Amino acid sequence: MCGIVGYVGSRKVSDLLLEGLFRLEYRGYDSAGIAVHDGGAISLRKRAGRVQELARLVDEQPVEGGVGIGHTRWATHGSVTDANSHPHVGGNGEVVLVHNGVIENHDTLRDHLQSRGYVFQTETDTEVVAHLVAHHLDERVKLGDDPGETETYVRAVEITLTELKGTYGVVALFRDLPETIVTARLGSPLVVGVGEEEYFVASDASPLVGYTDRVHYLSDHELVVLTPEKMDVRHRDNGRVRPSLQTLDQVADDTDLGEFEHYMLKEIFEQPKALENAIRGRLDEDAATARLGGLNMTPRQLRRIDRIVLTACGTSWHAGLVGEYVIEEFARIPVEVEYASELRYRNSPLSENTMTFAITQSGETADTLAAMRELQRKGHPALAICNVVGSTIAREADGGVYLRAGSEIGVASTKAFTSQVMILNLLALHLGRTRHLSFPSGERFMRRLRELPEKVEQALACHEQVKEVAARYHAFDNYLYLGRLYNFPVALEGALKLKEISYVHAEGYPAAEMKHGPIALVDERTPSVFVIPKGGIQPKVMSNLEEVKARGGPVIAIACEGDERVAEIADETIFVPYVEEHLQPIVTSIPLQLLAYHVALLRGCNVDRPRNLAKSVTVE
């Protein structure tokens, strides 16, 4: 949650900060602000609302300087106001900082600081951090530390961090220490970009694209001091450490809208390419299997696996449900799918031969990271299926597979979901071939995987039809989404997409469960969206569809091309190409993504920046 950007160098910093905040706005868009050091004083500009509102303020009240920090907020503590916007000021203005995360003991610290005369202007936990740094800075000076020395300020930050309980990504400026930024992290991601006599810092790499391709991802308990001349990296336990520089492979096109009106629509249409990237180089023709070297496990080790636990949140959890079905069918290994938010606090009995996977687009999801660490703490190898190279989960996992889906900026995940399902199919093939799956079956599996990008391209042809369906149904306030077996998780995902960006109540169910309660909701104002492609269980789902029609409920059906039986009964039928059942979620999810998108547009919602949501959930 929230986006941070900072810079020290010779560029016009206000323009750079604003550009960075626009790129980070998917992380939070309640309010935004910047602080710029001109060498003598620090100027603040803050405004509730979107980053565009802040940009207008900066146009009206320009700020000059080559050092600055910025923040776009997703509110946790305190309402959405100009005052609660970051950056926040500590003491008498000697400290200005921005912060991501949650300080759990902020009430206790606030009481302590107020007893010492500190006056609070906001409701945020971040102002507590700012005042606490100012307090310890004052204490260091009283002890004789030189107020002109960088070490005095660094030590004040270090002492402050030891008193914080919770998570933080902090970037600070100091009034009396020009051309210096101090940044630190625990549980909230930060990355430093390395330029020529300039440095950047941000919550993720997107603001750095086009400025530098050399980055250092901060680890927990790292603190970095940045000046135009150097980067000084320190670890709480290890002292000064050498920066671990990596090459940033993201390109500017990843964050450009191009011909599309919204990132969500762009990312929906990028799915054929994303799926191609997911399988590129991962199909082994000679062995009729998937090549997943990142698992860091030999075939002999894989043969000993007797149970798999997939843990994730939100859309990634739905992908995990598909993974459960496909791995059990083709690898014959029992699979459980756990909400990461629950698994991290449970004492789940896991055998020595249990294989665990954390599934995450961002690689920073707080609950998923905590669940993975808990599994590792108990001695279980924890692997990851992740999209973002250099993310915390990608770096801390014992192995895993990258999605290669490219940047996903729209808050509602689309191409990450289908890419995750593709990777889970690759995993099922890989595990199946280490066990009982025959060579010809492996070849057939691979052929079907290769066909998928083209099948998704064909599915996208329903766009205009879905647009028309949305025009007829966008005013309805309740939806039911129904599917069975592989398409039950698709029903859950379709309902989630509608809720996320349209603010419409929607529920996903296994179609057969309708008669066990939810059918009571069916009426002429509650459309039922049936995911009903061809397959062994389709006749059963048809019976459920007819039960809804018999009670006057409108039906929108997602069916295979040429399925006239479904078209005769449903009020609306959206056709997609036929693929085998274990791959159907990748194809059937396409019209549901488009339906949510167009319903949201017609209801006047912001599809890329839905209310109350942020892309990367880095707080519990």
| 106-158 confidence digits (pLDDT tens) | 999 999 999 999 999 998 999 999 999 999 999 988 888 888 899 999 999 99
User: Is 60 exceeded by the pLDDT of residue 598?
Assistant: yes
Neighbours of 602 (CB within 10 A): 15
**257-437: CATH, from 3.30.70.360, 3.40.50.1240, 3.30.1130.10, 3.40.50.10490:** 3.40.50.10490
Q: Is 2 a catalytic residue?
A: yes
**Could you tell me the sign of the dihedral formed by the alpha carbons of 483, 488, 490, 494, in that order?**
positive
Q: Which of 2, 313, 386, 605 is catalytic?
A: 2
What mean pLDDT value characterizes the chain?
Answer: 90
Q: Which residue has the higher pLDDT, 64 or 76?
A: 64
What pLDDT does residue 80 have?
83
CATH assignment of 3-252?
3.60.20.10
Going edge to edge, which strands form the sheet with 245-247? 42-48, 31-37, 67-73, 3-8, 199-202, 191-194, 214-217, 245-247
Tokens of 564: 């006239």
pLDDT tens column, 15-57: 999 999 988 887 777 889 999 998 889 999 999 988 899 999 9
Banded model confidence at residue 253, pLDDT cuts 50, 70, 90: low
Q: Which of 266, 497, 499, 615 is catalytic?
A: 615
Banded model confidence at residue 315, pLDDT cuts 50, 70, 90: very high
Of 261-275, 297-311, 417-431, which gets the smallest average pLDDT? 297-311
What pLDDT does residue 410 have?
86
Q: Which candidate, 164, 143, 162, 165, places its Cα nearest to that of 152?
A: 143
Homologous superfamily (CATH) for 461-611: Glucose-6-phosphate isomerase like protein; domain 1 (3.40.50.10490)
Separation between Cα atoms, residue 153 and residue 218, nearest integer Å: 19
Rounded (5°) CA angle 386-391-392:
105
Query: What type of residue is 434?
Result: T
Q: What is the pTM of this model?
A: 0.83
Banded model confidence at residue 616, pLDDT cuts 50, 70, 90: low
Q: Could you please report the per-residue DSSP string of 491-542?
A: HHHHHHHHHHHH--EEEEEEGGGGGGTGGGG-STT--EEEE--SSTTHHHHH
Place of tokens 């859950």: 492
Peptide bond just before 87 cis, omega within 30 deg: yes
What pLDDT does residue 116 have?
93
All CATH 3.40.50.10490 domain ranges of the chain, comma separated, are 257-437, 461-611
Query: What type of residue is 25?
Result: E
497, HSE (Cβ side, Cα atoms, 13 Å): 29
Banded model confidence at residue 408, pLDDT cuts 50, 70, 90: confident
What pLDDT does residue 516 have?
83
User: Is 70 exceeded by the pLDDT of residue 474?
Assistant: yes
Separation between Cα atoms, residue 16 and residue 29, nearest integer Å: 18
Place of tokens 């900026």: 409
What pLDDT does residue 190 have?
93
What pLDDT does residue 524 have?
80
All CATH 3.60.20.10 domain ranges of the chain, comma separated, are 3-252
Q: What are phi and psi of 488, to 5 degrees?
A: -65, -45
User: Is 90 exceeded by the pLDDT of residue 266?
Assistant: yes
Of 248-252, 369-373, 481-485, which gets the smallest average pLDDT? 248-252
User: Is 90 exceeded by the pLDDT of residue 579?
Assistant: yes
First CA to last CA across the chain, in angstroms?
10
Residue 472 CA from chain centroid, whole number? 32
Banded model confidence at residue 469, pLDDT cuts 50, 70, 90: very high
Burial of 242 (0-12, 13-18, 19+ CB in 10 A): exposed
Q: What percent of the chain has pLDDT over 70?
A: 97
Q: Could you please report the per-residue DSSP string of 340-401?
A: HHHHTTS-----TTEEEEEEESSS--HHHHHHHHHHHHTT--EEEEES-TT-HHHHHSSSEE
User: Is 80 exceeded by the pLDDT of residue 614?
Assistant: no
What pLDDT does residue 50 have?
87
Instruction: Report helix, strand or coil for 65.
Output: coil
